[in-house]
Structure 1
Amino acid sequence: MALFAVVYAYPAGSEGPRDTHRPAHRAFLSELADRGLILVSGPLSNPAGEGGLLIFRAASAEEALAHTEQDPFRLQGLVENVTVHEWKAAVGPLAESFGA
């Protein structure tokens, strides 16, 4: 298994709907974490706009992306763009746990 960084980009003006659906979104992600599929997730904020970062353990980028398909944020159209990158942890506890 490899690590994959899944990055969500949120559309402008989606703050209110995201607030509404955030409890279901976090419950969904917590379930994935309980199953050992997601290692960590959280919001991103940058000049280009808001988003989220999710670090998955998966066999492929396609598998990591598939894990997000039922995310309430995605189902409600609150994710404008999703990118997936294989991530090789080099230093720190994750690197030690995943054989870097």
Structure 2
Amino acid sequence: MALFAVDYTYAPDAAAVRDQYRPEHRAWLGAQHEAGTLQFVGPYPDGTGALLMITADDLDGADALLANDPFAREKAIAAVTIKEWVQVFGPF
């Protein structure tokens, strides 16, 4: 398994959609954390997006996992950047 840093950029015009689907999105995140595929997640304080750290076999697996996020399904995210990340120090 590899670690992937995921940057969500929120669509400014989709704030109401995010508000509507946030409970489902958070439940999905919680399930991913319990399953061990989500290491950590949190929004940027300025409201422009969020950072997620996930584990997957490869980039395609990371992309497939994120496609199941309710925010992705409802097109509440303007852009997603996924980069494999190599830990040098830290808890993972």
Q: What does 1:3-42 align with in structure 2 at a 5 Å threshold?
A: 3-42=3-42
Q: Which amino acid aligns with 1:43?
A: P
Gaps of at least 5 residues in structure 1 are 95-100
Q: Matched residues in 2 for 1:86 and 1:53: separation?
A: 13
What SS is found at the alignment partner of 1:90? coil
Q: What does 1:1-100 align with in structure 2 at a 5 Å threshold?
A: 1-45=1-45, 50-94=48-92
Q: CA RMSD in A?
A: 1.5
Give 1 or 2 for the bigger CA radius of gyration. 1
Q: Which amino acid aligns with 2:79?
A: N
Taking every aligned residue pair, what percent have the same amino acid on both sides? Answer: 38
- TM norm structure 1: 0.83
- TM norm structure 2: 0.89
More helix by share: 2
Runs of 4+ in 1 over 4 A off after TM superposition: none
Count of aligned residue pairs for this structure pair: 92
Gaps of at least 5 residues in structure 2 are none
